[in-house]
Amino acid sequence: MRLALVVLVVLTAPAVAHPPPPPAEIAVSSRPTLIEWTTWLRGSIAVAHGDPAVPRSTTAPIREAERHVAGAAGAGFTLPLGQRIRIGGWAEVRGWDVPLIGGELTVTPGDLDLFFYKGKSAITARAGGNPSQLTAQLGVGYRAPWDLFGAKPRSSRYMIGVGMVATVTQSRLAPHDWSATVGLELEPLGALRYILGIRSWY
C-alpha cells in the first residue's frame, strides 16, 4: 500500500526539467527592425579534397577525398533593405583556424511558426574568408525574435532559429584543396532555454 502511494505521487508530480508551457506568441511587427542579430552552433558532415603534393604546415596531407564531422560557432547581424531582404556581416570559428568573416544576404519569403513562436522562413547566403581560406554558405531555415533582454521598444532584437546549411571552403594557396559540408545550424540560447525548461528565460 505504501509503495503504491509513493508511485502515485511520483507519477502525478510535475517534472522539474520539462519544457515550460507554450508562452504567449511574440507579435512580429510588419516594420523591419533596424538591427537583427544572432549566434549559432553548427554540426556538419564534411567532405574534404586535397592535393597530397601541396605541403601543409598544420595538418597532414589529405588523400584525394575523406569524410569527417565538422563543427562551427558564429555570430552575425543584419540591416533591412526592405520588408523581406536584409544584409549584414558575420564571423565564424571553425576549429583552431583563424576566424572567418564576411557578408550576408537574407531573404524571408513568408511566415513560419515553430516552437511556439511566430517567425519567418529564411534563405541566407553568406560569403567571406580569412587570410588562407575562402568560403560560401547557403542556408534554409526558420527564425523568430526573442526578448533576450526583456520586452522593451528597441532598435535591435535577438533572433532564434534553426536551419540546414551547406558550405564550400577553398584554400587561397592551393585551389585544389577544398571542403564541402552539409549540416544543422541552431541558435544555442533559445535551444537550451526550451530543452532545459529554464523558466526565468521566458
Contact indicator for 77, 87 with CB cutoff of 8 Å: no
Contact indicator for 68, 50 with CB cutoff of 8 Å: no
Helix (H, G, I), strand (E, B) or coil at 10: helix
Quote the pLDDT of residue 113.
73
**Gap between the Cα atoms of 90 and 72, Å rounded:** 13
Which three three-digit cell numbers place residue 27? Answer: 507579435
**Gap between the Cα atoms of 51 and 63, Å rounded:** 7
The CA-to-CA distance between both ends of the chain, in Å, stands at: 41
CA-angle at 68, arms to 66 and 71, nearest 5°:
140
Q: Quick one: which of 36, 17, 20, 41 has its CA closest to 188?
A: 41
Quote the pLDDT of residue 8.
40
Q: Quick one: which of 85, 76, 81 has its CA closest to 36?
A: 76
CA 55 centroid distance within chain: 33
pLDDT tens digits for range 75-131: 999 999 988 999 999 999 998 889 999 999 999 998 877 766 678 899 999 999 999
DSSP 172: S
Bridge partners (DSSP) listed for residue 29 = none
Quote the pLDDT of residue 54.
46
Looking at the predicted structure, is the pLDDT value of residue 62 above 50? no
Mean pLDDT across the stretch 55-70? 61
pTM confidence score = 0.74
